Amino acid sequence: MIAALLLGFSVPAFPQVRHGRTQKAKHAAVSALDEFNRLAAQADVTFLFPEGFSEIKAPNNEYFSFDYAIALPGKDFEIWFRVKSEKENWAGYTRSKNNQLANPDSLYIATSRAEAVAFTGERKYFVRNIPPGICSRYNADAGKSYLLTLLDMPVTKHYKYALLITLHKNHIGSITAVCFTNDKGPEFFKNIRLAGDCLKFNP
């Protein structure tokens, strides 16, 4: 998924769980993936774990709430994922007589913008619309990408930069992926390409 989205940027989508984990840790890792796959299915999304990556703990607090995270062993690179179903919101919107309700198909714009501000502490970031041709490769109707210079925060492990990508499928849901790095050079985008097809909406 993520590699093709970068084409909309005009620029070229994680530390490893060790084999010596306890049985309890293994169970927790499996449970985290199972839960993420359950949430993905609710949003009509398919996740394929990318080769060479390992699961890490996703942040879930009052500032940043994500469903799943992966990292590339030996690299300063990780990705946080969130999937969200909008099916119930859309059904309620279509049943409602109150035309003051926000259209659920537009909520991803405000959500991604607010998240970009939370990561950077300001509104200065590079944002691009993801071209329709690229969105269609992931069965999405729209999307945006944000290149961010991050605040120095423990929750983001003091990473310096991030690429935030959000995809939306009308009446169905949204996908958010945030890729973290300390160097915005070619290696960053090479690492992103390794996870390029891990998430997409179902046809």
Residue range 143-189, pLDDT digits in tens: 999 999 999 999 999 999 999 999 999 999 999 999 999 999 999 99
Instruction: Grade residue 93 by pLDDT with cuts at 50, 70 and 90.
Output: low
Q: What is the mean pLDDT of residues 48-75?
A: 94
Residue 5 has a pLDDT of 43
CA distance 186 to 192: 10
The alpha carbon dihedral of 126, 132, 137, 138 has a sign of: positive
Residue 25 has pLDDT above 90, yes or no: no
CA distance 61 to 11: 32
Residue 87 has a pLDDT of 79
Instruction: Grade residue 54 by pLDDT with cuts at 50, 70 and 90.
Output: very high
Q: What is the mean pLDDT of residues 103-123?
A: 88
Residue type for position 115: E
- Please give the span between the terminal C-alpha atoms of the chain, in angstroms, as a whole number: 14
Between 98 and 197, name the one with better pLDDT: 197
Residue 33 has pLDDT above 80, yes or no: yes
Q: What percent of the chain has pLDDT over 70?
A: 79
Q: Find out whether 134 and 4 touch, Cβ atoms under 8 Å.
A: yes
**Count of other CB atoms within 10 angstroms of residue 160:** 16
Q: What is the mean pLDDT of residues 24-45?
A: 80
Classify residue 154 as exposed, middle or buried by CB count within 10 Å of its CB (0-12, 13-18, 19+): exposed
Structure pTM?
0.81
Residue 75 has a pLDDT of 92
When computed from its CA atoms, the radius of gyration of the chain, rounded to whole angstroms, is 17
Residue 97 has a pLDDT of 60
